[in-house]
Amino acid sequence: MSKWRCCFLLFFVFFFGSNSLLSKENNRSTSIALIENDSHLIVTNQESNSISIINVQQDYEKIGEIPVGSRPQTIAFDALHKNIFVSNQNEGTLSIINFDSLSNAGCLETNLAPFGVVVGEHLIFVSNQESHNVTVYDKSNFVRLKTINTEKFPRGLNLYEEKDRLYVTHFKNGKLTVINTNTLEIDSVINMGSNASLSQSVIITDDGKYGYLPQTFSNTINTSLQFDSTVFPSVSVVDLENGANLRKKRIGLDIVDRPVGIPLESALNSSGDLYIVNSASDDISVVNLSNTGGVAHIEVGRNPKGIALSHSQQRVYIDNALDGTVSAIDIETNLEIENFEVTRLEENARLLNGRRIFNSSSRSDLSRDQWVACSTCHFDGGDDGNSWFFTDGLRNTPSLFGVSETPPFHWSGNLDELQDVEVTIRDVQGGTGLAIGESNCSPSCDQGMPNKFRSEDLDDLALYLTSLKFPSSARLESIPQYFPYKKGEALFFDEKVGCASCHYPPLYSDGLKHNLSSTVGNIASFIDTPSLRGLTNSAPYFHDGSASSLEEVLQLSSQKDQHGSVSHLSILQKQDLLTFLKRIPIAETSIEPEESQSCLPPSQVFGITRVMAYSDLQLNNTFFRIGGRITLTLESSSNTPTITYVAIIPPSGNFYTISADGSMSDLNVITSYETSFTPKEQIRKAIVNTTLPKGLELGEYKILVVTVGIDKEVTNSENWLSFDEVVFEIINNGQGTFTL
């Protein structure tokens, strides 16, 4: 470190103490991490389905590359038990690797498409992008304790245990969820603005006061789709104490540094320098937060996805995902001093080239000034959830999963081959193009000369697009047989309803263009029939994004019956139809292949570090009348043997307790609901499901659930491991308008 910089740092610390700009290494989800006092580096290899362990102190020697599940995303290290946790996105699992033996120590099942994983003093947290929740496990005996439902597409995690908070980013809408790690309940959700997206991470200052989120902001109201006025690489700043987005403090990277593509990750050093990883432009922006000025711009390898900062503040390590390498950067000089291989990418060379092209904005033939890549709107082949103004009108971004199976392409169907994306590269991304000469798309691509075989890079990009399949989370274990699904399926294929006249299996598209000019009030326009596969996670809907949900699709379609005929359907029939639409079967050949490895439980468990139990009562209503149906469910878990009690307190103030068979105790007699002699995985049970009989006292009732240790008295509240309460009222049949 230079003399002036060292003196400045000492002055800064002396006068400002633990200033909010001074940051320790955050406990955050990441694809690359330093462990064991910075002696070793762990890297996830998304393209190799493995993790690599590097000895940093021995000339970056790779001491092991260990197979894990399909599409590993992030890693976390439990220093107490020497376990490495790896989220496997395509399998819905968490691999456990023992660091000492460099061997597989077991596996935990998660929910759909896990991404972020962090390990705290007692708990493991995993974000599940496509089931829209966070799962929580005990880190010693691996019991699943709770599932916390969140906003859609939770992704990055940052655990700040000093304030008992877990911060969760949401990839498509840019929001930040704050979870209390004691209660495992959501405290708040902070909105970064309706145009924030591609939000993968949040970095927290040492005092926990501020958060910094690399994001991309979309200018969707822009009617002139120019490369430099469409998306903006930014860092949002959040006041975590007050739960506020500091809009005026937002950092525009194109202003303080230079135009970059898809900022995803960041790390903050003790000098207040924020290192921002730009995955599309293959570089690092370094910004000082004290003066919001650019410090350095560092070129790295292809598609950087993660960053690790050494505790010594001397090195930053960058995971170059599509090179299989790591860049080591010296913090004093902000220069790359080493680039070493962590995995060999075995993918077909042309397919790998196509993947790199798709994810890059760093080349002038792909993008002008590094602004836009294919992946900016189609990250990992999906969609951005936005609608954009193209020359032929407002158009909703479709996902590209299975795109090669449903020609022609674009909503207008004006691309008759995948190589015609050449026109998108030139007109939207501002690139000079992958082919020499004209784009062959005048007056339209389907009327011009073929683009196939004009350019090897263009053909490689088309090859990659052809390889895009639906994620494994889209796979149905079996065709559902329950009545709502089957009734919805029958309605879908009913000629009177008419859905299948254009959307017939197996692709649920007829591959034709239809005039939908009056469907939702648009001007005359012929639209290519989209496939209905994978609808659940592809909102908004219709070519112009005018329906924000599938429910709204049916609502708009009911108005004039010009998009199928659904106005005659009852509310229940529409619900059945929605049930089918949300689970339309996808052919196995169109889904990422299923891995053959089974998920075996951890081979070794450890003594728990803290006794924990969770209980959550849920009631189907707040007001009831005699003869109405009351349904009470209990969701509970514990990492230790427990006894659970459920009590009902009527208006009189006395109480009854409920047994597992649903029977009631005598008045003011304590009986247990259930006893668990082993730790209890999260489970949901119906406690009460009955109609309210005549003769019940009118007024307010309370239902309580209490969990205690196996040898503890429930009458002593100090023994309570968990507690929850719901309140409801039984009203006179003639009182109010409440019905069940």
Asked if residue 27 lies in contact with residue 158, where contact means CB atoms within 8 angstroms, the answer is: yes
Count CB atoms within 10 A of the CB of residue 247. 10
- Condensed to tens digits (0 to 9), the pLDDT of residues 542-589 reads 999 999 999 999 999 888 787 889 999 999 999 999 999 999 999 999
Residues β-bridged to residue 514 = 527
In CATH, what number is assigned to the domain containing residue 571? Answer: 1.10.760.10
- Condensed to tens digits (0 to 9), the pLDDT of residues 36-68 reads 999 999 999 999 999 999 999 999 999 999 999
Please give the DSSP secondary-structure letter assigned to residue 573. Answer: H
Domain boundary among 467, 495, 517: 467
In CATH, what number is assigned to the domain containing residue 641? Answer: 2.60.40.3880
Q: Say if residue 357's pLDDT is above 50.
A: yes
- The reply to whether 455 and 493 lie within a common domain is no
- The reply to whether 666 and 688 lie within a common domain is yes
Residues β-bridged to residue 66 = 51
Domain boundary among 544, 565, 585: 585
Separation of alpha carbons 176 and 90, rounded Å:
24
- The reply to whether 516 and 626 lie within a common domain is no
- The reply to whether 500 and 545 lie within a common domain is yes
CA–chain centroid gap for 282, Å, is 23
Separation of alpha carbons 86 and 77, rounded Å:
9
Evaluate whether residue 369 is within a structural domain.
yes
- The reply to whether 484 and 501 lie within a common domain is yes
Token pair 């990659």: residue: 464
- The reply to whether 530 and 624 lie within a common domain is no
**Number of domains composing the chain:** 3
| Per-residue model confidence (pLDDT) at position 519 | 46
Going through 60-120 in order, the beta strands assigned E by DSSP cover 61-67, 72-78, 83-88, 93-98, 103-109, 114-119
- Condensed to tens digits (0 to 9), the pLDDT of residues 500-534 reads 999 999 999 999 998 876 444 444 478 999 999 99
- The reply to whether 637 and 715 lie within a common domain is yes
Q: Say if residue 5's pLDDT is above 80.
A: no
H or E stretch at 687: strand 680-691
- The reply to whether 673 and 633 lie within a common domain is yes
| Per-residue model confidence (pLDDT) at position 71 | 94
- Condensed to tens digits (0 to 9), the pLDDT of residues 129-138 reads 999 999 999 9
- Condensed to tens digits (0 to 9), the pLDDT of residues 366-402 reads 999 999 999 999 999 999 999 999 888 899 999 999 9
Q: Say if residue 1's pLDDT is above 80.
A: no
Q: Say if residue 22's pLDDT is above 50.
A: no
Nearest-CA neighbor of 518 among 555, 559, 551, 553?
Answer: 559
Token pair 């088309």: residue: 462
Token pair 């362990």: residue: 53
- The reply to whether 487 and 460 lie within a common domain is no
| Per-residue model confidence (pLDDT) at position 646 | 97
- The reply to whether 533 and 642 lie within a common domain is no
Q: To the nearest whole percent, how much of the chain has pLDDT over 70?
A: 94
What is the average per-residue pLDDT within 73-101?
96
Evaluate whether residue 70 is within a structural domain.
no
Domain boundary among 540, 565, 585: 585
Evaluate whether residue 688 is within a structural domain.
yes
Angle at 130 between CA 126 and CA 133, to 5 degrees: 45
Evaluate whether residue 386 is within a structural domain.
yes
Q: Say if residue 76's pLDDT is above 70.
A: yes
Please give the DSSP secondary-structure letter assigned to residue 275. Answer: E
Evaluate whether residue 332 is within a structural domain.
no
What residues make up the domain containing 436? 351-400+403-467
> Tokens standing for 190?
């902070």
With a CB cutoff of 8 Å and minimum separation 6, the contacts of 350 are: 456, 459, 460, 463
| Per-residue model confidence (pLDDT) at position 222 | 83
- The reply to whether 443 and 512 lie within a common domain is no
Chain mean pLDDT for the chain: 91
Evaluate whether residue 699 is within a structural domain.
yes
Residue 377 three-state SS:
helix
What is the average per-residue pLDDT within 157-172?
97
- Condensed to tens digits (0 to 9), the pLDDT of residues 668-724 reads 999 999 999 999 999 999 999 999 988 889 999 999 999 999 999 999 999 999 999
What is the average per-residue pLDDT within 406-427?
94
Count CB atoms within 10 A of the CB of residue 208. 16
Evaluate whether residue 414 is within a structural domain.
yes
Evaluate whether residue 86 is within a structural domain.
no
- The reply to whether 453 and 485 lie within a common domain is no
Q: For the chain, how far is it from start to end, CA to CA, in angstroms?
A: 71
Token pair 């012929």: residue: 526
What pTM was estimated for this model as a whole?
0.93
